[in-house]
Amino acid sequence: MKAARDASEIVRFALNSLANSDLSIAPPVMGHPIAYDMGSSANNADERRTLYTNWILSQAFSEVVRGIRDSLEEAYFFLQLAKIHDGPIKSDAFNALMSESRKEAQRAKFPDLIASVNKELTAALAFTTEFQSLQKVRNCLEHRGGIVGTQDADADGVLTLSLPRIRVFYIRGTEEVELVPGSTVDPGDDRDNVEIYSQRVTRTRSYRVGERVTFTADEFHEISFACTLFLGDLVAKLPQATPGDVKRGKLT
């Protein structure tokens, strides 16, 4: 949750700063007795803005997905703890079990980790496909600079990012009209009061092989919020200890 919140805020600050900065020439390195010339990374302000924007988004996206990965590893660890049998367990055996559980979680590939966690939850995660699409986009950003390669895409040459979001809308006749910033509610009839509804839906973004994966600050904020929905679903489906479990020593 912290990674999603902080990454979204940093992206908004950084992209706003880029939009209002003179990027025509790199600032000098101040306070150093030797000027090192490593060449120029871009030819003009527009190229710099594109380069820096992609770098910032890549780092932020990786941070959010890392937060999800860490949360799944913690869930795996918790679920192993919850499976301890009735009766006492010696501290050395307990510590060895916990150490091995953490190593198993850290070694597991992303799809295998999700599958292992899913098996022990009170119900299957609602966002397994979305979890996996996040990891695929992260791999593209980290290993191919955000340019979609054949290894990122499906059989049709498309990389798809699927994310839940909250849609707010009202009914006009038989049509569901979504509300966006600045829109005006127009019911299309003489109603003085209009009911506003919210619904969790999935938004998809598709990128073909050779295209660059990129987002605006607003789109990244929506991605970050989607990650909080993932985590809320995960936490809600962890098994809960009962007073009887604690008394028998199953969970402490």
Helix ranges (DSSP H) in 83-216: 91-107, 110-120, 128-144
Q: What is the pLDDT of residues 22-81, one digit of tens each?
A: 988 877 777 777 777 777 777 788 888 888 888 898 899 889 989 999 999 999 998 988
Average pLDDT, the chain: 86
Burial 125-156 (b: 16+ CB within 10 A, else e): bbbbebbebbbbbbbbbeeeebebeeebbeee
What's the residue count for the chain?
252
pLDDT band at 86 (very low <50, low <70, confident <90, very high): low
**Contact (CB, 8 A) for 158 and 194:** no
Of residues 242 and 188, the one with the higher pLDDT is 188
Residue 8 pLDDT: 93
Residue 150 pLDDT: 94
Q: For residue 157, how far is the Cα from the chain centroid?
A: 23
Q: Quick one: DSSP state of residue 179?
A: -
Cross-strand partners of 197: 169
Measured between alpha carbons, how far is 96 from 81 in angstroms, rounded to an integer? 12
Residue 191 pLDDT: 81
Q: Which pTM was predicted? A: 0.75
- For CA atoms 202, 174, 197, 123, the dihedral sign is negative
